[in-house]
Amino acid sequence: VADDEMGDINRQLERRISRLEGVLRLEKTITESGGKIFATNGKKADFNTTLQKCKEAGGSIAAPRNPGENDAIQYFVKTFNTYAYLGVKESLIPGKFQFLDGTELSYTNWHLNEPSGKGEE
């Protein structure tokens, strides 16, 4: 494939992706922060189902690592007037939380007296 032809193919794909992202933004099912795309299907589910659906989509459950990512997750919470699961779990030390892969949280933005470990964080 010639470079010109490859460039044309890339531009066509970029336009198509841009149109698809535009539709998803109109439907309020995606948002972006720091080059990461955050998405939802808007349906309520339990944690394990949410985790599985994220994997099926080729992603992972959202775990905010900075204020921008936290805002992206909050966008869905406000848009759909519901809660959101995070890729965070309580560690072996009560009251301490970590990412699902076991690494220590590098960013938190908890409400006062949270997380309490009562499952309603």
Structure confidence at residue 117 (pLDDT): 64
For the stretch 67-84, pLDDT in tens is 999 999 999 999 999 989
Taking only Cα atoms into account, the Rg of the chain, rounded to an integer number of angstroms, comes to 18
Main-chain phi, psi angles of 33, to 5 degrees: -155, 125
More confident residue, 35 or 117: 35
The CA distance from 76 to 96, in Å, is: 26
Q: How far apart are CA 63 and CA 24, in angstroms?
A: 21
- Report residue 116's pLDDT band, with 50, 70 and 90 as the boundaries: confident
Residue 26 in this model has a pLDDT that exceeds 80: yes
Is-contact 62 73, C-beta < 8 A?
yes
Alpha helices in 1-121 (DSSP H): 3-26, 47-56, 67-80
CA atoms 77, 93, 107, 112: torsion sign: positive
Which residue segments constitute the domains of the chain, with CATH numbers given? 1-99 (3.10.100.10)
- Are residues 39 and 27 in contact, defined by beta-carbon separation less than 8 angstroms? no
